[in-house]
Amino acid sequence: MTADAVVVAAHADGRVDLEFRPSGQCAACAGTCLWKRLGAARLELAAGRGLAPGTEVVVGLPERRLLEASMLLHGMPLAAILAGAGLGAAATGSDTGTLIGALAGLALGIAGFRRLGRRLEKTTLAHLVVTPKP
C-alpha cells in the first residue's frame, strides 16, 4: 500500500513534511483522499536525512502492518461473534440464546475494535516508510 507525496520541508532531525497527491488509479481512495477531505493532506514523518524540499517520494506501509490491521478489522469481530454464540448456546441451549450471544459478541467486538483501532492508527504512522521516487 503506497501513496505518492512531495517533500515540502525537511527538518534537521530527519523528519520531513509531506504533501500527498491524489491517486490517479483509484477514484474511491480512503487513504490520501480522506486526508484531503479532512484538510490534512500534509503529514510530518521520519524519513532520514538527504531529502530536500521538492523531492518526490513514495510513502509505503509495510505488508506486516497491513496484515495486522486486516486481522484486527476482520478477525476480532468474527472471534467475538463466535465466542458470544458459543457462550449463548452453552448458557441457554437454544438458538435464541445463540443469536443473542452472537449479537452481544459482535457489539463487544466492535467496541473493542474502536479502542484498538485508535492505537493501531497511532502506531501505523510510526511504521510508514518514506523512500525517494525512482
**Residue 131 domain flag:** no
- pLDDT tens column, 12-45: 787 788 887 665 555 555 554 555 454 556 677 7
> What are the angstrom distances between the C-alpha of 98 and each of 42, 74, 84, 93?
48, 21, 7, 8
Same structural domain, 11 and 55: yes
Same structural domain, 68 and 42: no
- pLDDT tens column, 97-122: 999 999 999 998 888 777 777 777 77
The parent domain of residue 28 ranges over 2-60
pTM to 2 decimal places:
0.57
Question: Of the residues 60, 78, 98, which one is the last residue of a structural domain?
Answer: 60
Same structural domain, 68 and 35: no
Question: Of the residues 60, 92, 108, which one is the last residue of a structural domain?
Answer: 60
Same structural domain, 101 and 117: yes
**Residue 87 domain flag:** yes
**Residue 130 domain flag:** no
The larger pLDDT score, comparing residue 59 to residue 95, is at: 95
**Residue 134 domain flag:** no
Same structural domain, 54 and 82: no
Which residues 6+ apart lie within 8 Å of 21 measured at CB? Answer: 3, 4, 5, 6, 32
Q: Are the beta carbons of 22 and 69 closer than 8 angstroms?
A: no
**Alpha-helical segments (H) within the chain:** 32-37, 63-70, 76-92, 95-127
The mean pLDDT value of the chain amounts to 78
